[in-house]
Chain A
Amino acid sequence: MSKLAMEEDYWNSSKVKGFDFGDDIEQLTETKRTMGRMHIDFDDDSVDCIDMDVIDWSENVIKAARRPGNERGTNQDPAFRHHEKFTPGMQRGSTSSQTTPSSLFSLGQPARVPRATTPLNSQKRRSVTPVGSSQSISEMVDREQLRYSTRGDMASLQAENARLARLLHSGRTCHAGTEETVWKMFKNQPYALEPFRCLRDKMNLLDQAVKMHDGNIITAILIYLKTSLRKEILFAELISRPTAVNHYVSLLRKQSDERTLLELLTALGRTEEAALIEYKQHVAMRDPEKRLAFLKRCISLPFNSEDSMHIQNQYTLLDHQGIIEHNDKKVEAAGQLTIFKEHPRKASILFMPLVTTLFYCCFYHYGETEGTLSSPANLKKVFKISNKQYLWTAMAARSQLHKWEDVDALLTSKGWFGGTKKKALIGFHRVVEIVSKNNAPFGMVNEFVGLVDDAETRLDLALKHKCHSVVIETLCQMKDQQQLREYRKQVEINSPEEKMIVEALKNSQIRW
């Protein structure tokens, strides 16, 4: 009796630590050693289970895992309940005489006693273990303690606890069930994964972890599975477990284990993802030769045709860049060309995007003929750069160099009858923006402002850049006499602008 009381005290005072099967790891290893040689009588309830070894385990697990709400313990599917009862130890027991002590946990009986008196509002806790399933002792004790610790109805439960505690203390230590182990991990209690050696146990462990929603536990179990299962076996099991796959991919990424990652994704049929991961490795390669060779291989990876083409282009571009870089470095070092002397290169062109390369070539290699590798025209042709993109980039480069005649030429197109006219694909408001930022001569800004299509925008820009004539013309065009009068106050008295305004205001042709 005193022993019992002592045990009760023990259990009541330490609900967390009480179920460690001993407080240290040694006992766990001891457990492992003793596992094989233990023979334990089946409880009545668990004997029932032996009849059920026809159940397709994995099938059920999958079904259960997919069923919404089963995590909440409301699953009444008999098959599901059966397999819950069906502890791995017992199945082995049915094929050989060896039984793991985990069958101890399928003491279904005690679970039902308190259930009859369970108030409805304590349903919450069941989210962890499905009703009627085999529950581990520690869990039940744990649960009952929590449930009743604030209620009066303690006596019978304490007796129950004591019984379970006695069972546990009777020297028949053993490893915990999968569910219990996951629960321990969740509660930060000592646990061991090593005892789970048969595939079914391992996968059950994984499924329990997924049910908990704690990625940390899922990952921990995957780390264990990674070392204790052959890849092909693990991958095959993962196919039906998307959440676990996500965590495994995440783990492998963080471990930078690209090889396993690629094998996994390939096994799962996610070939395009695998291709991307392989392709990603090039980013870290700083040696152009090495990267070039690698990219060449990437072209034939199972990308869709569109992406293959992009990578093909990337390869070609890097090839070009290598040649340009090599030549320009030499030319710059020789100090012959003025462009390189006046504007030393700030950085290598290697690995830069296409548009940046185009800018570079418009900057240093503008006049070259199309046949030259480094000429902007060649880049445009090889990489099918759009006219708009080309105009943006060439404008920016030539403006930065103050090569206004080039800018002008970019915007000039031949008219029908040999004449020329100005045209800007990107819109003259953008042209104004670029050239004015680079301090273009006023005449040029003024001309381009006048060519802006939209009257409002034109007026805004003309005001901003003090293009008086354009302001006045636009205001006349907009028939805004009032603003024109206002504007007169801003221009200098007796300036040509003022004269223009006065004339315009007098002009009877304009119907104000």
Chain B
Amino acid sequence: MARPCPAASLPDFSILNHNHRDQLIHLLELLPGRKDLFIDPALMPLLDRITGSSVLKKHEVDKFFKLDGKHIPGGCEQRFFLIRPEESMVKIVADSLNADKACSFRRKCKIIFTPRKLFCCDTILELEGVYGDVSCEEWECDLVPVYDDVLSMEIPAFFRDFFLEGNQCWLYTVAKSLCKLQSIYGTFGKVYGIGRSAKMVNELMEAFSGDFEDGTNGKGNNWSLFLIDRDVDFVTPLCSQVTFQGLLDDVFTIKCGSVEFGSEVTGSEKNVKINLGSGDKVFAEICDQHFSNVFGFLSSKAKTLQASYDKRHGMDIRNMKDFVANELRMLKQQHRFLSLYIGACEVIMKKKMKGDLKEQLKVEHALFEGTDTKRCISYIEECINRQCPLPEVLRLLCLLSVTEGGLLPNDLRNLKNHLLQSYGTEQLLTLANLRRAGLLADQQPLETMGKLVADKTVGKAVDVSNVTSSHLVLVFFLGGCSFSEIAALRFLGRSKGYRFVVGTTALTNSPRLLEALMDA
């Protein structure tokens, strides 16, 4: 049994960021002199996180372009294309190279694939007739620390690729990144896994062993690894998020640990982007709180802040000088953050209260308890009739299916019929995908209450305290995890005396999870 004991200290993961940055700079220096950088739009937040533009400018990047299919003539004689190894991106690069060729403009180009180049990319370069005209590099930017205790690969494609299509192309990167992690921070004492991809990643890690030195073996951390397939638990990410950060993500979309607020929050024309992982104390305190607790906290913070400001009244000149020199700046910074959080809360309230959140939470609750299924079904039907946003409807539908162990044929037929009428018959494609991914199913006649936890996991789920003696645990989600899950793990860690580090292929929430499976 776990005794609460001092939690293990957190390794300093910022080293990973430094490594990624150094590696990218090294790659850019392969072509000395000025160059333009064309960036896969999906990689922008990542690049912001790791280098920012100023660092790249220092390394002779002249201009940045979003790689969106429009060919841009002119510019520097050297070009870098930074892309994910996806066919569509490679095609865009190839088109750009061919456009240069067409006007016989000679330029030195390099494609940087991150986290690695896939063989199929070469095939496209070859098909497009540019193979050999361009050299390819790999930027192994795999695990990115987005918070102190959260490492993300920022590859949302993993979910669809593996869990819908059964494509294993990302497993290599997951396994390798974990091996690299071991070489820096110490070998995992034990590795536990649940799910198909977890097993494969573990085996791939074994294939890698030997490639990496166990440099810190002995003095390294005593930690263990839990690999968890996303399809082992679909219930959690499909639930409504109620933590502050979860709602921030739902409403504003957190990208690589940063969030951008528009004028509705800032109250000015300008958008403001803040890095949530920067260690702002107020944010650290509210991010995992239930949303309803956040207002109280923010208002008390605001009062404290006011009091600190008010101190300046009745100060003599010397104290005032001191105040301005030391405290004021900090207070101003706090004030700025605080007003952004409050503004964000308002927008969240407005958006969430517009729909009937209360009814929705009631329905979710009924689903978990397995009571009043009829009412849940009619609520979903009502949402469909009203043409509520499709991901929201699919979320409830899938939640119904996974908690009930499938839908009765009649219910499914009826809901499907309504859904196709409201959102278009082409949603047949989406429904077929949900079925394939196991999010939607027919109820098996004799299936008893295999609720909440899918059958395949029963008996395999383990209590951490029973299996691991190390108090530092890396929990790696294959296929994405939500901010609510991170909050839950932090909570569990605090109460049980563990320190959890969360690893994931991407940070996700129910709309992103479901949109990945939408096909029309």
On whether the beta carbons of A279 and B428 are closer than 8 Å, the reply is yes
Contact partner of A247 (CB less than 8 A), chosen from B168, B200, B204, B210, is: B168
- Per-residue 0/1 for A57-69: is the Cβ within 8 Å of any B Cβ (1 yes, 0 no)? 0000000000000
Is the CB–CB distance between A243 and B386 below 8 Å?
no
A127 touching B425 in the complex, CB below 8 Å, given contacts A254-B87, A310-B420: no
**Which chain A residue shows the least CB distance to B436?**
A273
Q: Mark B163-181, 1 if CB is under 8 A from A, else 0.
A: 0011111111000000000
**Residues of the A chain whose Cβ atoms lie less than 8 Å from the Cβ of B207:** 127-128, 186, 212
CB distance from B431 to the nearest CB of A (A): 10
- Report the separation of the CA atoms of residues A263 and B413 in the bound assembly, to the nearest whole angstrom: 30
Q: Name A219's contact: one of B120, B171, B425, B432 (CB within 8 Å).
A: B120
Q: Which residues of B contact A250 (CB under 8 A)?
A: 161, 165-167
Please determine whether A249 and B421 come into contact, CB atoms closer than 8 angstroms.
no
Q: Contact at B520–A426, with CB atoms within 8 Å?
A: no
A306-B413 contact in complex given A219-B119, A219-B120, A283-B520, C-beta closer than 8 Å = yes
List, in ascending order, chain B residues with CB within 8 A of A146's CB: 210
Interface residues on A, range: 35 or more
Bound-state Cα–Cα, A217 to B161, Å: 15
In the complex, what's the smallest C-beta–C-beta distance from A244 to chain B, in angstroms? 10
Query: In the complex, are the beta carbons of A72 and B203 less than 8 A apart?
Result: yes
**A282 neighbours in B (Cβ, 8 Å):** 426
A242 neighbours in B (Cβ, 8 Å) = 166
A237 interface residue (CB < 8 Å to B): no
Given A223-B120, A355-B421, A385-B421: A214 and B172 interface contact (C-beta under 8 Å): yes
B residues in contact with A10, CB < 8 Å: none
Residues of B within 8 A of A393 (CB): 385
Distance between Cα atoms of A215 and B381 in the complex (Å): 40
A164 to B335 alpha-carbon distance, docked (Å): 71
The CA of A306 and the CA of B285, in the complex, are separated in Å by 52
**B-chain residues with CB within 8 Å of residue A500 when the two chains form the complex:** none
Q: CB distance A276 to B169 under 8 Å?
A: no
Q: Is the CB of A353 within 8 A of B168?
A: no
Q: A125-B209, A219-B120 are in contact. Are A246 and B421 (CB under 8 A)?
A: no
Contacts of B34 in A (CB 8 A): none
Confirm or deny: B373 has a beta carbon within 8 angstroms of a beta carbon on chain A. Answer: no
Partner of A127 from the list B206, B386, B413, B426 (CB cut-off 8 Å) is B206
Nearest residue (CB) in A for B161 is A250
CA distance A158 to B382 in the complex (A): 75
A260-301 CB mask vs B (1 if < 8 Å, else 0) is 000000000000010010011011000000000000000000
Whether the Cβ atoms of A213 and B428 lie closer than 8 Å is no
* Chain A CB within 10 Å, residue with most, of B161, B168, B171, B201: B168
A49 within 8 A of B: no
CA A219 to CA B85, docked complex, whole Å: 13
Let me know if A180 is at the binding interface, CB within 8 A: no
Known contacts A219-B120, A223-B123, A243-B166; is A213 also within 8 Å of B209 by CB? no
Select from chain A the residue with minimum beta-carbon distance to B426.
A283
Interface: B19 (CB within 8 A): no
A276 touches which of B206, B423, B429 (Cβ 8 Å): B429
Known contacts A124-B209, A219-B120, A279 near B429 by CB under 8 Å: yes
By beta carbon, the residue of chain B nearest A220 is: B119
Assembly CA distance A283 to B120 (angstroms): 26
The interface centre, meaning the residue of A243, A306, A355 with most chain B CB atoms within 10 A of its CB, is: A355
Asked if B134 lies at the interface with its beta carbon under 8 angstroms from chain A, I say no
B416 → chain A closest CB, angstroms: 8
Pairwise interchain contact A127-B203, C-beta atoms closer than 8 A: yes
Are B119 and A353 in contact, CB atoms less than 8 angstroms apart? no
Least CB distance from A317 to B in Å reads 8
Q: B385–A71 contact, CB under 8 A?
A: no
Contact with A along B48-62 (1 / 0, CB 8 A): 000000000000000
Inter-chain contact B425/A310, CB cutoff 8 Å: yes
Chain A contacts with B in 43-91, Cβ cutoff 8 A: 71-72
Check A389 against B421 for contact (C-beta < 8 Å): yes
From A215, A249, A283, A355, contact of B168 by CB (8 A) = A215
Query: Which of chain A's residues have a CB closer than 8 A to the CB of B204?
Result: 212-214
Q: How long is the Cα–Cα vector from A389 to B381 in the complex, in angstroms? A: 9
Residue A388 CB within 8 A of the other chain: yes
Contacts of A306 in B (CB 8 A): 413, 416
Render B76-118 as a binary contact track against A, CB cut-off 8 A, 1 for contact.
Answer: 0000000000010000000000000000000000000000101
B201: chain A residues at CB < 8 Å are 213
Instruction: Determine the distance from Cα of A217 to Cα of B418 in the docked complex, in whole angstroms.
Output: 43
State whether the Cβ of B369 lies closer than 8 Å to any Cβ in chain A.
no
Interface residues of A in 369-417 (CB under 8 A from B): 383, 385-386, 388-389, 392-393
Whether A220 touches B120, Cβ cut-off 8 Å, given contacts A279-B428, A392-B386, is yes
- A137 interface residue (CB < 8 Å to B): no
Within 8 A of B (CB), among A120-178: 124-125, 127-128, 146
Does the CB pair B429–A214 fall under 8 Å? no
A480 within 8 A of B: no
B422 sits at the interface (CB 8 A): yes
Whether B413 lies near A217 (C-beta < 8 A) is no
Q: Which residues of B in the span 121-166 have a Cβ within 8 Å of any Cβ on A? A: 123, 161, 165-166
Structural contact, A125 and B203, CB atoms closer than 8 A: no
Contact of B424 with A by CB under 8 A: yes
- Does B465 belong to the interface (CB within 8 Å)? no
Question: Could you tell me the distance between the alpha carbons of A352 and B171 in the complex, rounded to whole angstroms?
Answer: 40
In contact, B424 and A353 (Cβ under 8 angstroms): yes
A213 and B210 contact, Cβ closer than 8 Å, known pairs A310-B428, A355-B387, A355-B421: no
Task: Give the residue name and chain of the A residue nearest to B127 (CB).
Answer: A255
B29 at the interface (CB under 8 A from A): no
Let me know if B519 is at the binding interface, CB within 8 A.
Answer: yes
A207 to chain B, nearest CB (A): 14
Q: Which residues of B contact A438 (CB under 8 A)?
A: none
The CA-CA distance from A291 to B132 in the complex, in Å, is 41
Cα A5 to Cα B206 with chains together (Å): 32
Complexed CA–CA distance, A146 and B423 (Å): 58
A218 at interface, CB cutoff 8 A = yes
CA–CA, A107 to B201, complex, Å? 31
What chain B residues lie within 8 Å of A185 (beta carbons)?
Answer: 119
How distant is the Cα of A127 from the Cα of B199 in the complex, in angstroms?
Answer: 13
B417-447 interface bits toward A, Cβ cutoff 8 Å, 1 = contact, 0 = none: 1101111111011001000000000000000
Q: Given the complex, which residues of B lie within 8 Å of A348, measured CB to CB? A: none
Q: Is A307 engaged at the interface, CB distance under 8 Å to the other chain?
A: yes
Contact B120 A389 (CB under 8 A): no
Residues of A within 8 A of B165 (CB): 246, 249-250, 253
Given contacts A250-B161, A254-B120, A392-B385, contact A214 B171 (CB under 8 A): yes
Query: In the bound complex, what is the Cα–Cα distance between A219 and B417 (angstroms)?
Result: 38
Q: Specify which chain B residues have a CB less than 8 angstroms from the CB of A109 in the assembled complex.
A: none
- Min CB distance, B142 to chain A, in Å? 14
Q: Across the interface, which residues of B come within 8 angstroms of A253, CB to CB?
A: 165
Q: A217: which of B87, B119, B123, B203 is its contact (CB, 8 Å)?
A: B119
The residues of A that contact B519 with a CB separation of less than 8 Å are: 280
In the bound complex, residues from chain B placing their C-beta under 8 Å from that of A426 are: 382, 385
Whether, in the assembled complex, A354 has its beta carbon less than 8 Å from a beta carbon of chain B, the answer is yes
- How far does the alpha carbon of A215 sit from the alpha carbon of B204 in the complex, in Å? 11
- Whether B424 contacts A389 by the Cβ 8 Å rule is no
Minimum C-beta distance from B383 to chain A (A): 11
**CA–CA, A216 to B119, complex, Å?**
6
Given A214-B204, A250-B165: A386 touches B119 (CB 8 Å cut-off):
no
A276 to B206, CA, bound (A): 39
- Asked if B428 and A353 sit within 8 Å, CB to CB, the answer is no
A435 to chain B, nearest CB (A): 14
Q: What are 5 pairs between A and B in contact, CB < 8 Å?
A: A125-B209, A186-B207, A246-B166, A280-B429, A355-B387
- Chain B interface residues (CB < 8 Å from chain A): 87, 116, 118-120, 123, 161, 165-172, 200-201, 203-204, 206-207, 209-210, 381-382, 385-387, 413, 416-418, 420-426, 428-429, 432, 519-520
Q: A215-B169, A353-B420 are in contact. List 6 more A-B contacts (CB 8 A).
A: A71-B203, A127-B206, A306-B413, A353-B422, A353-B425, A383-B421
